[in-house]
């Protein structure tokens, strides 16, 4: 038996790029360039994540977890929450046309 989550979130979850920009970079005294170097990726990649124009991939989650000492799931769960929220807002009209079904 499933329980439906009927509470709609009005504000977006925090994007991993925002977490990095607002919390991790200042706390660790990093710049985008120094973080890119530490992770072994391009500055462009880091800037795109920080600007929320790129998602955190599983490979990036592994890099970030290694650098900051947390789990890759932390980064992937944050990205997943943001992606679902964004998709629900983006496809609201189409989703509203789908009628839920009950099991036979």
The answer to whether 79 and 3 are in contact (CB under 8 A) is no
25 touches 32 (CB < 8 A): yes
26 to 10, 90, 101: CA distances (angstroms): 28, 32, 48
User: Which sign, positive or negative, has the C-alpha torsion 53, 59, 64, 67?
Assistant: negative
Walk along the chain (104 residues) in steps of 10 and give the mean pLDDT of each run: 68 96 98 98 98 98 98 98 95 93 89
Q: Which CATH superfamily is domain 16-96 in?
A: lambda repressor-like DNA-binding domains (1.10.260.40)
pTM of the model: 0.84
């Amino acid at each position: 038996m499933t329980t439906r989550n009927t509470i709609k979130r009005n504000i977006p979850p925090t994007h991993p790029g925002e977490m990095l920009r607002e919390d991790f970079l200042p706390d660790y005294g990093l710049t985008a360039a120094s973080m890119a170097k530490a992770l072994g990726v391009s500055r462009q990649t880091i800037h795109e994540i920080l600007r929320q124009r790129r998602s955190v991939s599983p490979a990036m989650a592994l890099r970030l977890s290694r650098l900051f000492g947390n789990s890759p799931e932390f980064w992937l769960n944050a990205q997943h929450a943001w992606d679902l929220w964004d998709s629900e807002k983006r496809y609201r009209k189409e989703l509203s046309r789908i009628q839920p079904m009950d099991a036979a």
